[in-house]
């Protein structure tokens, strides 16, 4: 049976086929044509994937080519005109520039109007009530329609107990409850899986805040003790705010960005 | 019994390919069409199926990988150790552990997302959930990419390991590098191990098989071991140490007494003493190799002492097995792989020692008693002290001896060839055994072609007999003729005899001709005289025959010529039947009729056969030559054979429509073109 490095041994003893190198060279030369044939003929999802791969390769190739081509040559230098430099026949005139100057007060007022927080997602799409709630018919004849089931992701605290089923108006299904969020630190650019402490504010309304609904743009408070942040006083920071950046009900997870 | 064949492991795909395979399989094997207006349950089910299918496939493929790679603790310790030496047990276990966690993660992801999909209330939401699920699963696999690559490399290396059965009869060869271990194994088995003058040519274990006493033995060639402390040993040496440590085998310790390997006997003895602990309970044989360069007796005193020390050690193992203390032949052996002396005896000694040891062990074990109780070898008791050797009759012995001698006596052609210079020089004479009437004809050259004919077509072995027969026939006819020369009792004069002979000859000729004609008349239709194409019946011939009879042929010839076909058209001529007055010369004829363009017959008889075929001859019915030529053409063409070969003819020419418009129009550029 072939054992050890039998391929190399065979090569050492008997050498290559007489036409081995020729065939290899020709096969490699033919690869180019074959690739182009595939690129032209592939249809459907295969074609798309191939085109994407090929595009990435081409971009890379172009970059390396450009890199190889750049050489230290001398170009003619255009003298930059300085700001405010003026030709001789205009030397005696005063140049006035117009600019919009905003007074400080106006800036302050604008900020107040915008809200206290500067958040990454200032505006979000409003969520309609029929999108948020699903009507559940109850009762013996299924005629009562006062119960609602929330169709979006929610957060309920660890000590949450349901109201007695007969009286609860809003049902938060357990399959849609999330406890953890993927929080990105905007400066460090890395993501952590942190526990949610609570929902601070939902932009769609105060009712949703109290229900604990997590939609895009919701401000949540997360437990950052594993980041090891410390206040200048020396106290350990263990809770920070973050804003939800995706639609959790579509993605199955809560992605948020930390508000520093 | 587990077969240690690692060639059957499936290929471990790399991370990217793995993902591609699974995702494309999902796309192909699950239904692909879904619309917004379907019932929500149907939409949910559609996407849940995809998620579950992908998870199942991942699970299956990862499970095969985990199951096929051997668990180092479950296999024979030899292989466990060997794999540890080669691949590092920790890394190996880590990699497999990562695959396992990936498998569990993928299952968890699928479970979570299937739960979430139950709350999907729109196509978009279900679709995004499915995309998220598949994406997360693929990320998990992408993360274990390096582990997959590592496992693939291990698998490739494992497939090339020799399949050694750790439980069967094994002979292990060890020693310093370059002492001749690989040459030895090449000699006794069919393993083709590379033999080179540099050290560490053999970098891993090699296995070969050999037979002894109808049993198969494994022979394992190890890489050379250097004399170093245990911790400093590299991977290659550790392979041989592992083999020594775990396999129950007969050990052949090779010693190079000529020193041509580059290490002295002292160094080799030092190595021996440092690894002698590994030789516990194994039949050990010390083999002195390369005796063609340096015989064992010729080494120096100190070296001899070292060798005897080693021999003493080896003897201990013999004693330990309960063998005879005095049998020291099987402990120290000499051989030379170059001249092949002693090789077989070394192999036999090793196999014998191993076999004895194994048999002993088996006899000592408890299991053997179950077998021993079940069979009994019966030896017949001798009746008396008389010796009864086998009895062969004298005649048979003689016959056998004679046969043997005869076999040698006859010189074969092959022997002759070898004597006279070999295959290219000597060419055997194929004619020397010919059977001919006269032996001198053997070397004659036989002609093959004569006058354009094959001689062999005319060769007839009975030709002499036939000749005799013919002669006999002729003799009869002659006898008849001589008898018939006496007509009615009268004797004829010689002139008369001559005339009679002539007449008879002519008659016989005629009869022969007639017979020939008659014989061919059945197969061929006879052509009547007026159509003779061979031009036998010419007027010249008639003239000759008449003159032979003694008659002047001139008039007859003229008459014949006047009746010839070529003169049929001459209407205005005076017929020449009545007289022979104007044989030659033609009475003036009206030759200038403008309508009938008759050919001027100035010399009828000499031109009777030289008219061109397009000539219109009076009596044929044509208006003029051109009409005749047209008629001839038509006649010629009508006789053309029909082409019955079913091949395309001129009438079958078709002009195809290579670019039908309906196949080349439309918005689609690619794709099937049977319809647009």
How far apart CA B276 and CA B284 sit, in angstroms, is 10
- Burial-class residue A192 by CB neighbours within 10 Å (0-12, 13-18, 19+): middle
B330 pLDDT band, cuts 50/70/90, is: low
A175, B116: Cβ pair inside 8 Å? Answer: yes
DSSP string, B192-236: -----SSTT---S-EEEEEEETTEEEEEEE-----S--GGG--HH
**pLDDT at position A15, please?**
92
Rounded Cα distance between A1 and B209, Å, is 11
Count of C-beta atoms within a 10 Å radius of residue B626: 11
Q: How many residues does chain A have?
A: 260
C-alpha angle B194/B199/B200, rounded to 5°? 65
- Adjacent-strand bridge partners of A150: A133
Distance (Å) from the alpha carbon of B57 to chain A's nearest alpha carbon: 20
User: Is the model's pLDDT at B277 over the cut of 80?
Assistant: yes
- Give the pLDDT confidence of B148-173 residue by residue, as tens digits: 999 999 999 998 888 888 889 999 99
Which of A3, A43, A252 is nearest residue B132 as measured by Cβ atoms? A252
* A49: closest chain B residue by CA: B20
Quick one: which of B541, B501, B509, B543 has its CA closest to B517? Answer: B509
Angle between helices B145-159 and B15-29 (to 10 degrees): 100
Say what the pLDDT of residue B405 is: 80
Q: What pLDDT, on the 0 to 100 scale, is given for residue B463?
A: 84
Residue A153 pLDDT: 95
Whether the CB-CB separation of B317 and B276 falls below 8 Å is answered with no
Tokens (6 digits) for A125? 């799409």
- Per-residue pLDDT, averaged over B415-422, amounts to 84
For chain A, what is the mean pLDDT? 89
Which secondary-structure segment (H or E) carries B139?
helix B123-143
Give the Cβ contact number of residue B160 at 10 Å. Answer: 16
**Ordered alpha helix ranges (H), chain A:** 6-14, 20-41, 44-69, 104-114, 129-132, 206-211, 248-251
- Bridging pattern class, strands B449-450 and A191-201: unpaired
- What percent of chain B is predicted at pLDDT more than 90? 30
Which single residue is written with the structure tokens 């009507």? A135
Q: Which residues pair with B385 in a beta bridge?
A: none
Q: Is B191 on the interface with A (CB under 8 A)?
A: yes
Average pLDDT over residues B181-186: 92
Q: At what angle do helices B145-159 and B89-117 cross, to 10 degrees?
A: 130
Residue B175 CB contacts under 8 Å (≥ 6 apart), including other chains = B181, B224, B225, B253, B254, B255, B256, B268, B271
Pairing relationship of beta strands A144-150 and A133-138 according to DSSP bridges: antiparallel
pLDDT at B571: 54
Residues in chain B within 8 Å Cβ distance of A151? 119, 121
Q: What is the pLDDT of residue B479?
A: 62
- The ipTM of this complex is 0.82
The better pLDDT of the pair B259, A220 is held by: A220
Q: Is the pLDDT of residue B350 over 60?
A: yes
Is B121–A134 a contact, with Cβ atoms under 8 angstroms apart? yes
- Asked whether the predicted pLDDT for residue B20 surpasses 50, the reply is yes
- Give how far A111 is from chain B: nearest CA, Å: 36
Please tell me which of the candidates A5, A45, A175 has its beta carbon nearest to residue B27.
A45
| E strand or H helix that includes residue A194 | strand A191-201
Taking an 8 Å cut-off on Cβ atoms, the answer to whether B160 and A3 are in contact is yes
Q: SS3 letters for A204-218?
A: CCHHHHHHCEECCCC
Distance (Å, whole) CA B104 – CA B112: 12
* CA–CA separation, B70 and B66 (whole Å): 8
Q: What is the pLDDT of residues B225-238, one digit of tens each?
A: 898 888 888 899 99
Residue whose entry in the numeric block shows the structure tokens 């587990």: B2
pLDDT of residue A177: 95
By C-alpha distance, the chain A residue nearest B191 is A1
Q: How far is A1 from chain B (nearest CA, A)?
A: 8
- pLDDT given for residue B257 in this prediction: 86
Put simply, the answer to whether B132 touches A1 (Cβ < 8 Å) is no
DSSP labels, A84-139: T---GGGTTSPP----PPPPHHHHHHHHHHH-S---S----PPPPHHHHEEEEEES
Bridge partners of B210, per DSSP, are B217
CA distance A9 to chain B (A): 7
* Phi–psi pair at B537, nearest 5 degrees: -95, 75
Q: Counting Cβ atoms within 10 Å, is residue B65 exposed (0-12), middle (13-18) or buried (19+)? A: buried
The end-to-end CA distance of chain A, in Å, is 67
Over range B650-661, report the average pLDDT. Answer: 83
User: What does the pLDDT read at residue B380?
Assistant: 84
Where do we find the tokens 């207006």? B37
Lowest mean pLDDT among A227-231, B189-193, B567-571: B567-571
Q: Which two tokens stand for residue A76?
A: 């003619």
Please determine, for residue B651, whether its predicted confidence score (pLDDT) is greater than 90: no
Q: Are residues A3 and B161, on separate chains, in Cβ contact within 8 Å?
A: yes
Mean pLDDT of B546-551: 88
Tokens of B658: 């290579």
Residues B460 and B469: beta-carbon distance below 8 Å: no
Interface contact flag, B191 A3, Cβ < 8 Å: yes
| pLDDT tens track for B187-228 | 999 988 989 888 888 889 999 999 999 999 999 999 998 988
Q: How confident is the model at residue B332 (pLDDT cuts 50, 70, 90)?
A: confident
- Long-range contacts formed by B441-446: CB under 8 A, 24+ apart: none
Write down the pLDDT at residue B588: 43
Per-residue confidence (pLDDT) for residue B476, from 0 to 100:
67
Query: At which residue do the structure tokens 């094959």 appear?
Result: B454
Chain B CB contacts of A3 under 8 Å are 160-162, 191, 204, 206-207
Give the mean model confidence (pLDDT) for residues B451-469. 86
Q: Does position B58 have pLDDT exceeding 80, yes or no?
A: yes
User: pLDDT category, A33, cuts 50, 70, 90?
Assistant: very high
Q: What Cα–Cα distance (Å) separates residue A71 from each residue in A61, A66, B465?
A: 18, 10, 108
Cα separation, A212 vs B588, whole angstroms: 146
What pLDDT score does B53 carry?
Answer: 97
- Specify the pLDDT at position B464: 85
Task: Share the mean pLDDT of chain B.
Answer: 83
To the nearest whole percent, how much of chain B has pLDDT over 70?
86
pLDDT at A11: 93
Chain B residues whose CB is inside 8 A of the A11 CB are: none
Residue A95 to chain B, least CA–CA distance (Å): 59
Tally Cβ neighbours within 10 Å of residue B44: 21
Among the listed residues B74, B362, B86, B69, the one whose alpha carbon sits nearest the alpha carbon of residue B243: B86
Does residue A250 carry a pLDDT above 90?
A: yes
Q: pLDDT grade, residue A2 (50/70/90)?
A: confident
**B481's tokens:** 């003729």
Nearest to B160 by CA among A7, A3, A11: A3
Confidence (pLDDT) at A116: 59
pLDDT at B585: 44
Residue B388 pLDDT level (bands cut at 50, 70, 90): confident
Of B179, B238, B250, B174, nearest to B210 by C-alpha is: B250
**pLDDT per position as a tens digit, B21-42:** 999 999 999 999 999 999 999 9
Identify the pLDDT of residue B508.
92
Q: Could you tell me the pLDDT band of residue B653, with boundaries at 50, 70 and 90?
A: confident
User: How far away is chain A from the Cα of B106, in angstroms, using its nearest Cα?
Assistant: 15
Q: Which residue has the higher pLDDT, B607 or B166?
A: B166
Nearest to B163 by CA among A259, A148, A82, A2: A2
Question: Of the ranges A59-68, B318-327, B618-627, which one carries the lowest mean pLDDT score?
Answer: B318-327
Residues 6+ apart with CB under 8 A from A209: A199, A200, A201, A202
* Sheet strand arrangement including B332-334: B206-212, B215-221, B170-175, B250-256, B284-289, B332-334
pLDDT interval class at B294 (50, 70, 90) = confident
Q: What backbone torsions phi and psi does residue B73 show, to the nearest 5 degrees?
A: -90, -20
pLDDT score recorded for residue B673: 63
Q: How confident is the model at residue B659 (pLDDT cuts 50, 70, 90)?
A: confident
pTM, to two decimals: 0.64
Question: Residue B300's CB: how many other CB atoms inside 10 A?
Answer: 9
| B124 to A250: CB separation less than 8 angstroms, yes or no | yes
Beta bridge partners of A182: A193, A255
């Amino acid at each position: 049976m072939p054992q050890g490095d039998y391929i190399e041994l065979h090569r050492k003893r008997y050498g290559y086929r007489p036409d081995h190198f020729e065939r290899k060279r020709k096969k490699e030369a033919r690869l180019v044509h074959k690739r182009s044939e595939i690129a032209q003929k592939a249809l459907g999802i295969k074609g798309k994937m191939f085109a994407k791969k090929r595009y990435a390769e081409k971009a890379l190739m172009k970059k390396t080519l450009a890199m190889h081509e750049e050489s230290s040559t001398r170009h003619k230098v255009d003298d930059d005109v300085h700001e405010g430099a003026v030709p001789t026949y205009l030397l005696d005139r005063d140049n006035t520039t117009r600019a919009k100057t905003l007074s400080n007060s106006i800036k302050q007022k604008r900020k107040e109007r915008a809200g206290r927080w500067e958040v990454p997602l200032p505006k979000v799409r409003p969520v309609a009530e029929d999108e948020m709630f699903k009507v559940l018919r109850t009762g013996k004849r299924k005629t009562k329609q006062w119960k609602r089931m929330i169709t979006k992701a929610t957060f309920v605290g660890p000590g949450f107990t349901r109201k007695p089923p007969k009286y609860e108006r809003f049902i938060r299904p357990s399959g849609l409850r999330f406890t953890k969020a993927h929080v990105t630190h905007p400066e460090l650019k890395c993501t952590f899986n942190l526990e949610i402490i609570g929902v601070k504010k939902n932009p769609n309304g105060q009712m949703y805040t109290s229900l604990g609904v997590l939609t895009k743009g919701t401000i949540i408070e997360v437990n950052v003790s594993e980041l090891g942040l410390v206040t200048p006083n020396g106290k350990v920071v263990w809770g920070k705010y973050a804003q939800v950046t995706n639609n959790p009900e579509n993605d199955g997870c809560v992605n948020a960005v930390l508000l520093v | 019994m587990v077969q240690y064949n690692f060639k059957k492991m499936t290929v471990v795909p790399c991370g990217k390919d793995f993902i591609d395979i699974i995702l494309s399989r999902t796309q192909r094997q699950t239904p692909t069409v879904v619309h917004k207006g379907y019932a929500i349950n149907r939409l949910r089910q559609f996407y849940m199926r995809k998620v579950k299918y992908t998870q199942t496939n991942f699970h299956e493929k990862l499970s095969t990988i985990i199951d096929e790679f051997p668990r180092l603790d479950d296999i024979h310790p030899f292989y466990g150790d060997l794999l540890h030496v080669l691949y590092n047990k920790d890394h190996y276990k880590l990699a497999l552990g990562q695959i396992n966690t990936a498998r569990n993660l993928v299952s968890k992801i699928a479970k979570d997302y299937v739960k979430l999909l139950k709350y999907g209330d729109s196509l978009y939401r279900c679709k995004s959930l499915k995309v998220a699920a598949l994406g997360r699963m693929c990320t998990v696999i992408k993360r274990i990419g390096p582990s997959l690559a590592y496992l693939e490399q291990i698998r490739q290396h494992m497939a090339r390991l020799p399949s050694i059965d750790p439980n069967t009869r094994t002979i292990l060869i060890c020693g310093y590098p370059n002492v001749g271990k690989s040459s030895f194994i090449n000699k006794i088995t069919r393993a083709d191990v590379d033999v080179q003058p540099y050290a560490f040519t053999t970098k891993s274990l090699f296995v070969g098989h050999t037979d002894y006493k109808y049993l198969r033995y494994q022979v394992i060639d190890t890489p050379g071991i250097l004399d170093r402390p245990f911790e400093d040993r590299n991977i290659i040496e550790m392979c041989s140490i592992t083999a020594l440590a775990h396999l129950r085998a007969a050990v052949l310790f090779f010693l190079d007494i000529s020193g041509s390997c580059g290490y002295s006997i002292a160094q080799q003895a030092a190595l021996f003493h440092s690894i002698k602990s590994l030789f516990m309970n194994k039949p050990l044989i010390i083999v002195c190799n390369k005796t063609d360069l340096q015989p064992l007796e010729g080494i120096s005193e100190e070296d001899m002492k070292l060798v005897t020390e080693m021999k003493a050690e080896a003897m201990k193992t013999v004693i330990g097995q309960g063998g005879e203390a005095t049998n020291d032949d099987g402990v120290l052996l000499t051989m030379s792989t170059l001249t092949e002396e002693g090789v077989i005896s070394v192999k036999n000694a090793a196999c014998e020692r191993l076999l004895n040891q194994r048999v002993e062990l088996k006899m000592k074990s408890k299991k053997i008693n179950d077998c021993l109780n079940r069979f009994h070898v019966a030896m017949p008791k001798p009746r008396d002290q008389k010796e009864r050797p086998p009895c062969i009759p004298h005649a048979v012995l003689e016959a056998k001896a004679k046969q043997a001698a005869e076999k040698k006596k006859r010189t074969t052609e092959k022997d002759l060839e070898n004597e006279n210079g070999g295959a290219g020089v000597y060419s055997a004479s194929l004619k020397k055994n010919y059977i001919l009437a006269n032996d001198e004809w053997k070397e004659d050259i036989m002609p093959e072609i004569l006058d354009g004919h094959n001689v062999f077509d005319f060769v007839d072995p009975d030709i002499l007999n036939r000749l005799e027969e013919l002669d006999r026939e002729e003799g009869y006819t002659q006898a008849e003729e001589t008898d018939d020369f006496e007509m009615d009792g009268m004797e004829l004069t010689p002139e008369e005899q001559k005339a009679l002979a002539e007449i008879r000859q002519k008659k016989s000729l005629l009869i022969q001709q007639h017979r020939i004609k008659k014989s061919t008349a059945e197969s061929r239709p006879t052509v009547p005289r007026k159509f003779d194409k061979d031009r036998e019946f010419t007027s010249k011939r008639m003239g000759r025959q008449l003159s032979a009879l003694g008659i002047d042929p001139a008039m007859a010839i003229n008459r014949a010529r006047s009746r010839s076909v070529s003169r049929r058209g001459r209407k205005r001529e005076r017929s020449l039947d009545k007289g022979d007055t104007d044989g030659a010369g033609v009475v003036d004829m009206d030759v200038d009729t403008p309508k009938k363009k008759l050919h001027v017959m100035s010399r009828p008889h000499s031109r009777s056969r030289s008219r061109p075929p397009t000539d219109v001859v009076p009596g044929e019915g044509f208006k003029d030559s051109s009409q005749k030529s047209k008629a001839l053409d038509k006649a010629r063409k009508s006789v053309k054979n029909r082409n019955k070969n079913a091949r395309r003819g001129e009438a079958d020419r078709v002009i195809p429509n290579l670019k039908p418009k309906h196949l080349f129009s439309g918005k689609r550029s690619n794709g099937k073109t049977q319809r647009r």
